[in-house]
Chain A
């Protein structure tokens, strides 16, 4: 099954929701204020957020006024192109030439950081790259063990300290070890933390600093993992994590449920960092590049 089919399949539920509703709104009806309002409701129901939704709708309303959106198809087309333009260009996670490529994974509790790292590691391995995982979640009970299991599954190297030890030290050791062993990719796990916990956010700064100390310029990628079922708070998460350590990309997980992941639009609109990856299932291969065109296309086709 090709990528497009897989994505389409996993988005069927999302697709059904959105497309069927769009169809049902416009079937046999003129495009007027009531129908447009209903369209806005659908966006809000997908967690797009009131701001992003109203901006999208402003564009569509203007075009409707000019007579460009008379029927279902043209409204759908407008909506599609507007949504794609918000998401921007295709910017997948690219491993650069200089070794090691260091990825720091961060996020609030329970979004699926460790699982995403495991899947990402196995993807790199299948591309023939050597990978080292660093158990930076020294806080959660069994946080280290969980990553270790993934390291075995994906056949990667593994660096760990004691539970409760300093995650910055783990990160430092991992990057140094990767350099001396000639590893291609280092992925550093961190404990889930709510963005409102100032001391834990400070700890994250320290982790980043120590990575930079071990390898100036690293990490090349700071990946914020976001749960697709999260509502508007995901935007706050992205804002504060970004202020704290500078986020370079988003991984959107749990998109195989009924959640629409509309928060992606709000995040991209508000902060501009690209969505790199999406998690569409439990399997080790269910981590995909996020392609805005295909993502929106799959929603509407």
Chain B
């Protein structure tokens, strides 16, 4: 469905005999596609307009580098500008010189404030701080229970009251309690309602005045559409925000809202939420979001995550294996074992450009155990050459690994798919093979 922008531009520029300066008419054609790509990614229309204008000024007359096609050259300009606008990686939350540091979470209902509050608390706790959560959402039924449950999961105390009906009083009291208990971080989970709800905005303003938080964080859903600018502007102007956390980034939304929100508020995105599990909060990397908005996959994230698990030498060995096309079942098993140390597979696989196109690669984490058993039941010869694995051998492997012949067939099929994919990576023009691959 999402033909990548790179591919589109490549085809536009195919006819051009590419060297020299970028001409205005070439750039115009490219900009039309860029504009559409950004709109499809939910970047606000006005933001797109400004952006495209800027690109136009920067791209026209620019020399096409030796190593690049004109399409790549335009992409390069677009990517650079996008990264510049998205800002720097900045996941630091400043702490007050006089503890506790108070952090106030604000945002629309359903944006993920409560979950994100708990995720932040966990992060602080991991750093050796003593956070406290405050259940200040007195609107949504069972919001308090939700925070209490999350708090107990991460062993962080939750301040709440089922009697106090005024969130301002509750927040004020919570800070006093934090001082008594020597808690150095207080995270206020406020109620979420629409940004045009005046009573909510007044409530939030009052909380802010009464406890003067060090940091007010705007929690926004990555799937937000054109309205992101209005929502962000309202929260920013009325409450004042210091940073942004973008949630639900584990979906397939392109996340254009990130650009809209940053343009309107001028504040940095500090973290992104990448899953329902409480540890799934990651720093924001502008370059990755830029390539995601442009539909170019999240190769960088993948590389980084892979690097955590692979040491450099092994990576080089694997790289060589891939280039030689001598990828065997042994390599597959080794890589699968490593992958299991890298976190949920689906997250990882989603980051690879073009990966969703590959079928039969629907790897269930539990299945990996089976796959390993199957490979272990192969002979050395079989591991090197899948072509010799006939029906008899398949039956033997199934018996040996305690699985069934269809299971064995599937593993062999997957192996062939992966081999094909590696070939594709290798052969893909303009695609620089990442230093490491998870397989």
> Which A residues are closer than 8 A to B by beta carbons?
13, 41, 44-47, 49-50, 108-112, 139-143, 145-146, 148-150, 194-199, 227, 229-234, 236, 254, 256-260, 262-263, 282
Contacts and interface: CB of A to CB of B under 8 A. Distances in A.
Given A47-B226, A232-B42, A196 B252 contact: yes
B305 to A, nearest CB: 17
Q: Which of A49, A108, A233 has the most CB of B within 10 A?
A: A233
Given A50-B39, A142-B146, A254 B248 contact: no
Given A50-B36, A149-B141, A196-B250, A231 B223 contact: yes
Interface residues of B, number: 52
Contact of A45 (B45, B150, B251): B45
Interface in B238-260: 248, 250-254, 256-257
B265 interface: no
Interface stretch (B54-62, B103-111, B123-131, B384-392): B103-111
B271 to A, nearest CB: 17
B337 interface: no
A113 B437 CA distance: 39
A197 B346 contact: yes
B225 interface: yes
A260 B231 CA distance: 13
A263 B231 contact: no
B215 interface: no
B264 to A, nearest CB: 13
| Chain B contact residues: helix, strand, loop or mixed | loop
B42 A145 contact: no
A236 B41 CA distance: 12
B282 interface: no
B43 to A, nearest CB: 9
B210 interface: no
Interface of B: 1, 36, 39-42, 44-46, 108-112, 140-150, 153, 193-196, 221, 223-228, 230-231, 248, 250-254, 256-257, 276, 346, 350, 362, 364
A254 B194 contact: yes
Given A45-B226, A256-B194, A257-B196, A142 B149 contact: yes
Q: Which of A232, A234, A254 has the most CB of B within 10 A?
A: A232
Given A50-B40, A258-B231, A108 B145 contact: no
A231 B143 CA distance: 26
A115 to B, nearest CB: 8
Contacts of A259: 225-227, 230
Contacts of A282: 193
A257 B221 contact: no
B198 to A, nearest CB: 13
25 contacts: A45-B46, A50-B36, A109-B248, A109-B276, A110-B112, A112-B110, A141-B147, A141-B148, A141-B153, A142-B148, A143-B146, A145-B146, A146-B140, A146-B143, A198-B362, A227-B110, A229-B227, A231-B223, A231-B256, A233-B223, A233-B251, A236-B253, A257-B196, A258-B196, A259-B230
Nearest to A144: B142
A269 to B, nearest CB: 15
Contacts of B221: 110, 227, 229-230
A195 B251 contact: yes
B39 A108 contact: no
A262 B42 CA distance: 12
Nearest to A48: B226
Contacts of A149: 141-142
A260 B229 CA distance: 13
Given A196-B252, A233-B252, A257-B195, A46 B149 contact: no
A19 B142 CA distance: 40
Q: Which of B145, B228, B257, B346 has the most CB of A within 10 A?
A: B145
A263 B225 contact: yes
A149 B346 CA distance: 35
Given A44-B39, A50-B40, A233-B251, A141 B141 contact: no
The 9 A-B pairs with the shortest beta carbon distances in the complex, nearest first, are A231-B225, A110-B110, A231-B42, A141-B149, A142-B145, A142-B146, A149-B141, A146-B142, A233-B253
Contacts of B224: 229-231
B288 to A, nearest CB: 17
A40 B118 CA distance: 42
Q: Which of A150, A198, A229, A256 has the most CB of B within 10 A?
A: A229
A196 B251 contact: yes
Contacts of A257: 108, 194-196, 227, 231
Given A112-B110, A257-B194, A231 B146 contact: no
Nearest to B221: A110
Given A108-B248, A197-B346, A282-B193, A230 B145 contact: no
Nearest to B112: A110
Contacts of B41: 232
Contacts of A194: 248, 250-251
Contacts of A199: 346, 364
B362 to A, nearest CB: 6
A229 B221 CA distance: 9
A102 B9 CA distance: 49
Contacts of B109: 110, 112, 254
